[in-house]
Amino acid sequence: MYVVLNMKSTKMKRGKNMIISCANEKGGTGKTSTTALLGWELASLGHSTLLVDCDPQSNLTDLMIKTKSQENTEITIDPSLFALLINHRDLKEGIIRIKDNLSLLPVASDMNLFSRWVDKQELTEKEKVTYLKEALGSIKKDYDFIFLDVSPTMSLTNDNVFMACDWLIIMLQTQQRSLLGAKSFLEYLQTNLINMFDSKVDVLGILPVLTKGQSKIDNSVLKSAISEFGENNLFTNVITAMERVKRFDLTGITEDHKNVWDKATHSVYTAVAKELVNRLGVK
């Protein structure tokens, strides 16, 4: 059911209490929107879910705060994720409830300093790339799923994120550069994290994001992806480019059951969320 990067770990990682990240080293693949909406739908399905924004650009934080602000709730990010990490404080102190079963651990611009800070600590190289994993250990069992959002760059911060993960979902926008980015990213994981630091991370699946909705280019890239990764390693459900998702960036996530566009958007991500749960063997 998944691309096997790490044969020793795959048989043991089933069920809940999983840390997941949607990833690709190429930007613009819909990582943040997918992270937010998968978290939203999993929460709606009854799974306790935490979204952790590890990207200093704070796009996930902005989206979820806009969503929460629809309740006319004033939100202050204090302490920041970076402050919690460097002061060895309980991450629970920074968590904000968004809705039933869904919470956010927000980020601020000071997360830009994390790579530099951790690199200067008197730690072994492995301790430097597992700093975040150790911090998340105190809250991992509190949630069925924890999603970590990252920037599309390779950095010590992102290495910390991927080392903390049990599973990755590789975002594949149906463009040639995204396919090349996915391949390059998997090679990076294998060489720099699994081989070097014995990471237990594995790939749950490749999630296609159709840019034009079954155009010739979309289908061509999908065929190449199947040839490269194997059909079973691609999610059966795909994400299509939807204007409603862009609107969510302005308004926050809305779920008006009488609105046809809201319903259509949530149905797409609910299908992906259900497939994710199925791939993990969660009942």
Q: Is residue 4 part of a domain?
A: no
Q: Is residue 1 part of a domain?
A: no
Q: Where are the beta strands (DSSP E) in the chain?
A: 18-23, 49-53, 96-99, 102-105, 145-149, 167-173, 202-210, 239-240
Q: Is residue 166 part of a domain?
A: yes
Per-position b or e across 211-243, b if 16+ CB within 10 A of its CB: beeeeeebeebbebbeebbeeebbbebbbbebe
Give the domain extent around 78: 10-279
- Work out the number of other CB atoms within 10 angstroms of the CB of residue 108: 18
Instruction: Give CA–CA dist 111/92, Å, rounded.
Output: 17
Which pTM value belongs to this model? 0.94
pLDDT of residue 213: 64
- Work out the number of other CB atoms within 10 angstroms of the CB of residue 267: 10
Q: Is residue 146 part of a domain?
A: yes
**Tokens of residue 41, six digits:** 């739908």
Count of domains observed in the chain: 1
- Name which of 180, 203, 78, 189 is nearest 129 in CA terms: 189
Evaluated on CA atoms 181, 282, 160, 188, the torsion sign reads negative
Q: Is residue 92 part of a domain?
A: yes
CATH code of the domain covering residue 116: 3.40.50.300
Task: State the maximum Cα–Cα separation within the chain, in Å, rounded to a whole number.
Answer: 56
Of all residues in the chain, the percent with pLDDT exceeding 70 is: 93
- Inter-residue contact 31 to 24 (CB < 8 Å): yes
Instruction: Give CA–CA dist 259/257, Å, rounded.
Output: 5
Q: Is residue 2 part of a domain?
A: no
β-pairing, 96-99 with 102-105?
antiparallel
Q: Is residue 5 part of a domain?
A: no
Instruction: Give CA–CA dist 95/103, Å, rounded.
Output: 7
User: Over 60: is that where the pLDDT of 250 sits?
Assistant: yes
* Structure confidence at residue 8 as a pLDDT band (50, 70, 90): very low
- Share the mean pLDDT of the chain: 92
Instruction: Give CA–CA dist 57/260, Å, rounded.
Output: 31
Q: Is residue 272 part of a domain?
A: yes
* Structure confidence at residue 214 as a pLDDT band (50, 70, 90): low
* Structure confidence at residue 175 as a pLDDT band (50, 70, 90): confident
